[in-house]
Amino acid sequence: MSSDLHYKLIVGLEIHVQLCTKSKMFCGCAVEFGQKPNSRVCPVCLGMPGVLPVMNKQAFEYAVLVGLALNCEIAQFTKWDRKSYYYPDLPKNYQISQYDLPLSANGYIEIPLESGKTKNISIIRAHLEEDAGKNLHTAGNFSQVDLNRTGTPLLEIVTEPDMNSAAEVRALAVELQRMVRFLGVSEADMQKGHMRFEPNINLIITRDGTEYRTPIVEIKNLNSFRALERSVDYEQARQLDEFLENGVVMGMGNKTTRGWDDEKEITVLQREKEEAHDYRYFPDPDLVPVKMTPQWLSEIQGRLCELPIKRQLRYVDQYKLSDYDAGVLTADRSTSDLFDEAVKAGAEPKRLCNIITQTGLKIANEKGCSAGDLGLKAQSVANLAGMIEGGTISAGSAGQIFEAMVETGKEPEVLAEELNLIQKSDAGELEAIVDKVLADNPKAVDDVTGGGKKSKKARGFLLGQVMQKSKGQANPKVVSEILVKKLG
């Protein structure tokens, strides 16, 4: 039986972002990755009787800052709740989180689409909570627990199910990473687990004019963009197959949880006890509420910066850069800041963009930092761009000078001299070389003046000879002009 069938993917995302505070959320233990097991742990982390957690002001302000960047309403009154669950990675048997009064809600994030346009994805809420420790299952017939991560501040961000492709889901994740890095509130290092994703996925299937919704699946604990994108793609195909096979649609209590098998690249059903979701939230009596005053809020607002997506759009709009180049420049804040400052210092944007995205990023990659952190002054980079623009140096030698600037810290004008890279643009001096080349190559001269197919090639040959004689320092534009003058 043939049928008219089409479907739409529906995805909402829950994201945990680790905030880069020096100390934990409710105690003074250091937040440091890769330390000896159980070496960053205190009685508060252990949930010892009688301990008193105290909120980290920086963590709270970082969370508010992200809330503002996500265009959320910031709550004037927010409180802490206990989410009860019994698991060895949280020894006090509850996680401190926010239940009914999150610190921010009702916002949106603008994400770039492949078309160059953007899409707004609604944010339901963003709240603070503490991370759990780590269970390790490697050794023998027992598990090991390391509580160093316990109590690390996490921002949980929940979106509306507004995404309709795996590419959009990935774009949101990448945009959020770029945003929190721009704001300086998280290193957002995937390798260190600073960002974790849990997509909720289902399909709206229309068959013969009737609409069906497949049961929602939540995929737990994804920690790379690749796994996120692939798992959403996989679920889309799997749910469609499953629906065609059994026709089961969304209903009460048939939401399931699946894990991602990175090697097989499939999602796997996770067994769950139903009562596991009975978290019995209640206000934490150990922690007092936080009231946001207008002064405090405006102080935090003052720390907002132009968001990366806005910068990217501005570069395309204002400087006519390609969307790709604008994306590369705004991948991190220091590179983007360097670009902005150098433009302010007078650099031609397109020229500057080429220097930074070509040579700058190549060197930065080798050094394992960003192009903005190579220690260059914006003014010096602007001057380098200006030297190409003015014909003092060739675009080709700009890379060499840029590298030398990073190595020596010298100014581009000085290096151009030292490295003999100043282009000869003096017509008189170049004319003498051209005359010599023409005298030495009568055959090529005949070919040029004879016209036809050979003419263009011969002209190129003569130009090449002049460049060679000048040791590459002749300004090719000026040489071409002289050739035209002499040979027509």
Partner 1 sequence: MAKKIDQNQVIKVAKLSRLDLTEDEVQEFTGQLSAILDYVEKMNELDTAGVEPLAHCLPVSNVLREDSAKESLGTEKVLANAPQRDDEFFKVPKILDDGSGA
**Interactions with partner 1, residue window 33-62 (CB under 8 A):** 36-43, 46, 54-60
Which distant-in-sequence residues (6+ apart) come within 8 Å of 365 by Cβ? none
Query: Of these, 118, 144, 473, 480, which contacts partner 1 (CB under 8 A)?
Result: 144
142 binds partner 1 (CB under 8 A): yes
Shorter beta-carbon distance to partner 1: residue 278 or 426: 278
Judged by CB under 8 A, the number of residues near partner 1 is 71
85 binds partner 1 (CB under 8 A): yes
224 binds partner 1 (CB under 8 A): no
> Residue-wise over 15-32: b if at least 16 C-beta within 10 A, else e?
bbbbbbbebbbbbebebe
Provide, rounded to whole angstroms, the least separation between the CB of residue 16 and partner 1. Answer: 8
Shorter beta-carbon distance to partner 1: residue 106 or 221: 221
Amino acid at 132: A
**Angle CA 292–72–182, to nearest 5:** 95
Nearest to residue 216, comparing CAs of 232, 229, 228?
Answer: 232
**Phi, psi at 482, each rounded to 5°:** -65, -40
Shorter beta-carbon distance to partner 1: residue 32 or 241: 32
Stretch that binds partner 1, among 128-136, 167-175, 223-231, 430-438 (CB under 8 A): 128-136
76 binds partner 1 (CB under 8 A): no
Q: What does the alpha-carbon distance between residue 75 and residue 61 come to, in Å, rounded to a whole number?
A: 13
**Structure-block tokens of residue 347:** 């650099």
Q: What does the alpha-carbon distance between residue 269 and residue 252 come to, in Å, rounded to a whole number?
A: 18
Provide, rounded to whole angstroms, the least separation between the CB of residue 105 and partner 1. Answer: 17
Shorter beta-carbon distance to partner 1: residue 16 or 459: 16
Q: What does the alpha-carbon distance between residue 183 and residue 397 come to, in Å, rounded to a whole number?
A: 36
Shorter beta-carbon distance to partner 1: residue 265 or 272: 272
104 binds partner 1 (CB under 8 A): no
Binding mask 149-178 for partner 1 (x = CB under 8 A): -----x------------------------
Shorter beta-carbon distance to partner 1: residue 17 or 145: 145
Cα Dmax for the chain: 99
Shorter beta-carbon distance to partner 1: residue 134 or 314: 134
Provide, rounded to whole angstroms, the least separation between the CB of residue 91 and partner 1. Answer: 8
Which distant-in-sequence residues (6+ apart) come within 8 Å of 452 by Cβ? none
Alpha carbon separation from 484 to 27, 438, 487 (Å, rounded):
77, 12, 5
Burial class from Cβ neighbours inside 10 Å (0-12, 13-18, 19+) for residue 195 reads buried
186 binds partner 1 (CB under 8 A): no
Provide, rounded to whole angstroms, the least separation between the CB of residue 185 and partner 1. Answer: 12
399 binds partner 1 (CB under 8 A): no
Q: What does the alpha-carbon distance between residue 251 and residue 272 come to, in Å, rounded to a whole number?
A: 18
Q: What does the alpha-carbon distance between residue 59 and residue 79 come to, in Å, rounded to a whole number?
A: 14
Binding mask 240-259 for partner 1 (x = CB under 8 A): -----------------x--
Provide, rounded to whole angstroms, the least separation between the CB of residue 158 and partner 1. Answer: 15
Binding mask 430-459 for partner 1 (x = CB under 8 A): ------------------------------
Provide, rounded to whole angstroms, the least separation between the CB of residue 295 and partner 1. Answer: 12
Q: What does the alpha-carbon distance between residue 282 and residue 273 come to, in Å, rounded to a whole number?
A: 22
Contact 200, 13 (CB under 8 A): yes
Region 264-303 residues binding partner 1, contact defined as CB under 8 A: 270-272, 275-276, 278-280, 283, 285, 287-291
Shorter beta-carbon distance to partner 1: residue 54 or 113: 54
